[in-house]
Structure 1
């Protein structure tokens, strides 16, 4: 279930992340969705979707962080 546009992203993403961070999330999720299609490539019992979300959040956290007010800002 790759995402084609920002409006399809989960509320936890589209309601909290800036547009550029949403781009990062979407690209990382879609890439991980393809990369981890084979269960043998995943660690543990996580589903394909769970792994893709984890990868996407990790990608966002490379460039963004939460500030004191709880807003996501570029590092």
Structure 2
């Protein structure tokens, strides 16, 4: 289930990440969703979420409750 807009992201992502990080998450998730199409539906979604978080963590780090751009 790719995300068309950042407003479509899960609440846990929208409430914790700054807008730019949400955009990174959405783009990485959507790309992984396409890339791992041959996987089962549940595995595909789990992988896409892991890829999206990894993409965010390449450009942001968490300090306390805040995500700070690197």
Question: Same fold per TM (> 0.5)?
Answer: yes
**Gap runs ≥5 in structure 2:** none
Higher helix share: 2
The question of 1:29 aligning with 2:29 is answered yes
Calculate the TM-score normalised by the size of structure 1. 0.86
Unaligned runs of 5+ in 1: none
**Large movers: runs of 4+ above 6 Å:** none
C-alpha RMSD over aligned residues: 1.4
| Paired residues, number | 69
- Give 1:5 shift: 0.6
Q: Which has the larger radius of gyration?
A: 1
